[in-house]
Structure 1
Amino acid sequence: MSVLIPAAIVIGTVVGMELVAYLAHRYLMHGIGWGWHKSHHEETEGWWERNDLYAVVFAVLSLGLMWLDPGHTGLFWLGVGMATYGALYFVAHDGLVHRRWPFHWVPRRGYMQRLYQAHRLHHAVEGKDGCVSFGFLYAPPVRVLKQRLQENRVKGAATDPAPEASLPDGR
């Protein structure tokens, strides 16, 4: 198998996983799976939160695909793509946005700032209803998210912001 085919499978899987993650976050985690995800929207103590079980499930699926395909004919590379997405998620979401690492950096411009702000706006409401921005590696423009958040508040779908969800510099 040419190196281009595995690379295409991995890259395609990473892109596809953003759609899977968006749908899972929007409809599963903020729906029937709220029991696990709720811990992510609340103050928790320690390094573990129940929401981390979602990462464990996806890691088991990824490793399972790799294990099922020892000849590296296709499923293996799908699993590698899922693992790559998981690593990117870990860096961007857990590290950058939620500061679950020992160092802190708040981006001041560009893509990383938009990603950071979008996820902070996701946490700008209490509870599971009225949230915006469900992707992890893609974020709509912040002005669009703020407008949607305001519309959700007017409709009564969103409650007052959680204090920890404010953006740096009041943005």
Structure 2
Amino acid sequence: MEFLTYFAITIGVFVTMEGVTWLTHKFIMHGATGWYFHEDHHQPGYPHVFEKNDAFFVIFAIPSMLLFWFGTVNGLNWMFFVGLGILLYGTAYFTIHDVLIHRRFKWFDKTENWYLRGLRKAHKIHHKHLGKEDGECFGMLFVPMKYFREARLSTVKK
């Protein structure tokens, strides 16, 4: 029973992080407080290995690390698995956002997977706006279904 509870916590936090990411992206990163750090991410051809936007990685990593610590200091408890859910989402976010979409690393250069192509398409729509206003598609793993349909159709036509 304990395994299932911890597994459910981890998966629940992972799914919840998509909502947290969407809200953070829309209202903080594209808002008055976070645009300073996020703006360089919307500039085409940004020439540096790191962006100011990468500071958000640290912001999300700190609670995860603290939860790992407090979740093990007196024996394994639920906090560890909350931290694990955040870590797993961060890993998925990095892989999708930095590797697949922005190709900061050339690990998955070409994919024919309709789901991954749909994510790329939605993120490209998000980046067509260079300013903080008029943004759309703030999610990372769950985006409007129309992008998946378009990606699936373009894959079938090939």
Contact 1:10 1:81 in 2 (8 A): yes
Q: Give the equivalent residue in structure 1 for 2:132.
A: 128
Q: Give the equivalent residue in structure 2 for 1:95.
A: 99
Distance 1:143 1:97 in 2: 14
Which segments of 5 or more consecutive residues in structure 2 lack a partner in the other structure?
149-158
Distance 1:52 1:18 in 2: 18
Q: Give the equivalent residue in structure 2 for 1:39.
A: 40
Contact 2:68 2:79 in 1 (8 A): yes
* Cα drift, residue 67 of structure 1: 0.7
SS in 1 for 2:52: coil
Distance 1:9 1:109 in 2: 29
**1:81 aligned onto 2:85:** yes
Which segments of 5 or more consecutive residues in structure 1 lack a partner in the other structure?
145-171
Match for residue 110 of structure 1 among 103, 111, 114: 114
TM-score norm. by structure 1 comes to 0.79
What's the CA shift string for 1:47-93, capped at 9, x where partnerless? 11000000111111100111112122111100000000000001101
Distance 2:147 2:116 in 1: 15
Percent identical residues: 38
What's the CA shift string for 1:109-131, capped at 9, x where partnerless? 52111111000110011211111
**1:30 aligned onto 2:22:** no
Structure 1 vs Structure 2 CA RMSD: 1.9
Distance 1:143 1:63 in 2: 34
Distance 2:95 2:120 in 1: 12
Q: How many residue pairs end up in the alignment? A: 145
Alignment of structure 1 residues 60-71 onto 2, 5 Å = 60-70=62-72, 71=75
